[in-house]
A and B are shown apart, each in its own frame.
Chain A
């Protein structure tokens, strides 16, 4: 069953149309990648879902029409880790994690322990200002904060951007575990197509605001055009 369905979603920044009717689906517990060149509309697709850009068209989440207000989509169970990670640089690591669970009434310490199991580094840095963390640690914090919300769907924008390969490996390993242990669905935008295809079950390729190719990761790897444009071999 589909957790998330987009039907003909359009979005614009002022007069510039960034999405021309994107349709896609994410199933329960599935990791799906969105590929494409710069400016293809990958980030905008995520933003249209979470409501951080004005959109038209239909977005159905868990069987219900999804609100267009970002605070409401968060409450519905969608955690969006945006471009630039969106951590609160002036607040401490612990405060960032507390904010992750903002919509829930839970034992914060217990929930944080769960995050620390995935990212022990965050426990060491608990009282440090988030803005002083390294890029990799910030990405961990962004993911950890998303985990605090216990989302049904995680929207991830370029998790590998600017990070050392070893850190990228760690982060994708955690994503795999979140998916298998907690059944979280993930919609991930990635520049690094081979990395994304290695982890995602299916993928969509965007070009100037349209879905031009879709299929399973194996199908996409076998697709001549995709291979040439995005995998580079």
Chain B
């Protein structure tokens, strides 16, 4: 076993890299949780939706738009696309058994993946992100501006969503419809539309994750597949029902994987994924509903 020489500076660097990884997982995990909470559906197309919208961003930038001009346009397209997918593809099978809907989302993933390849080709593409890759000194630790940017954008997005769900009428309606659709209808909420809105929000989260990670990993039609796997793991770790859990789970997973890969010599980059999943498995043995999974408080 090779034991790497340990320095605190390097540890802090690895930690920063882990948090950046985790921020991406957290965004995608949050998208999965938002859809799961309202419709009990695991959206397997989440990754391909993100890739597709990232390619749209790439095209816009290829036509001369700057990243920050393309960014809101892509978010709008993602939102509209997410709502449309729910209305057109998911709605007709809404009352079908969950397995049917899962298969539909798998089909959707394949469809979007194929569509991406047809439109943009299968090759790797360089995606120029908004942040510089040079490093700056943060309390004696060199951290890349890109990593800081990715984390800040993710935090910002999560904060905006948290405020939206907590303080706006529509956000409250989304939460209400997710926990109790029948009562929601009785207060006048159009529950079907809240589901569509949830898909729209999830698509936006995916688009942001895609545009943040593409500069790090190169853009290709299968870019999000491994990341989606990590995001699923993060969502389950946090508790599939809990938005906070998704975010915490994502960061924890990113940090764990990065540190395992670096410091547990025999794991390296090939075994760090199974090792991380093993850890999650152990956590779930102790807490089957995840770290933040709902423990219902009810008095009758």
Q: Which residues of A contact B (CB under 8 A)?
A: 50, 52, 69-71, 74-75, 79-80, 82, 86-91, 95, 98-100, 102-103, 129, 131-135, 145, 149
Contact B175 A100 (CB under 8 A): no
Task: With A99-B172, A99-B184, A149-B188 given, name 5 new contacts (CB 8 A).
Answer: A71-B188, A71-B189, A89-B297, A91-B179, A149-B187
Contact B186 A88 (CB under 8 A): no
Provide the bound-state CA to CA distance between A129 and B175, in Å: 14
Contact A102 B299 (CB under 8 A): no
- Give the residues in chain B near A70, CB-CB below 8 Å: 182, 185-186
- Give the residues in chain A near B172, CB-CB below 8 Å: 91, 95, 98-99
Contact A99 B173 (CB under 8 A): yes
- Give the residues in chain B near A131, CB-CB below 8 Å: 296-299
Closest to B298 in A: A131
Contact A89 B298 (CB under 8 A): yes
Contact B179 A88 (CB under 8 A): yes
Distance between A44 CB and nearest chain B CB, rounded to angstroms: 15
- Give the residues in chain A near B287, CB-CB below 8 Å: none
Contact A87 B179 (CB under 8 A): no
Provide the bound-state CA to CA distance between A43 and B13, in Å: 63
Please list 21 pairs of residues, one from A and one from B, whose beta carbons are closer than 8 Å in the complex, sorted by A's number: A69-B185, A71-B188, A74-B185, A79-B186, A82-B182, A82-B183, A86-B183, A89-B180, A89-B297, A89-B298, A90-B294, A91-B179, A95-B176, A98-B169, A99-B176, A102-B187, A102-B188, A129-B297, A135-B299, A145-B187, A149-B187
Q: Does B88 contact A (CB under 8 A)?
A: no
Closest to B185 in A: A70
Distance between A140 CB and nearest chain B CB, rounded to angstroms: 14
Taking a contact as CB atoms closer than 8 A, the residue among B169, B182, B299 that contacts A133 in the complex is B299
Contact B186 A102 (CB under 8 A): no
Provide the bound-state CA to CA distance between A50 and B300, in Å: 25
Taking a contact as CB atoms closer than 8 A, the residue among B169, B175, B300 that contacts A102 in the complex is B169
Taking a contact as CB atoms closer than 8 A, the residue among A52, A89, A95 that contacts B185 in the complex is A52
Q: Which of B184, B186, B188, B191 has the largest count of A CB atoms less than 10 A from its CB?
A: B186
- Give the residues in chain B near A133, CB-CB below 8 Å: 299
CB-CB contacts below 8 Å: B251-300 with A: 294, 296-300
Contact A71 B298 (CB under 8 A): no
- Give the residues in chain A near B185, CB-CB below 8 Å: 52, 69-71, 74
Contact B297 A91 (CB under 8 A): no
Provide the bound-state CA to CA distance between A133 and B299, in Å: 7
- Give the residues in chain A near B299, CB-CB below 8 Å: 131-135
Closest to B183 in A: A86
Q: Which of B188, B191, B299 has the largest count of A CB atoms less than 10 A from its CB?
A: B188
- Give the residues in chain A near B188, CB-CB below 8 Å: 71, 74-75, 102-103, 149
Closest to A129 in B: B297
Contact B187 A100 (CB under 8 A): yes
- Enumerate the 5 nearest inter-chain pairs by beta-carbon distance, A residue then B residue, closest first: A74-B188, A103-B188, A70-B185, A86-B183, A131-B298
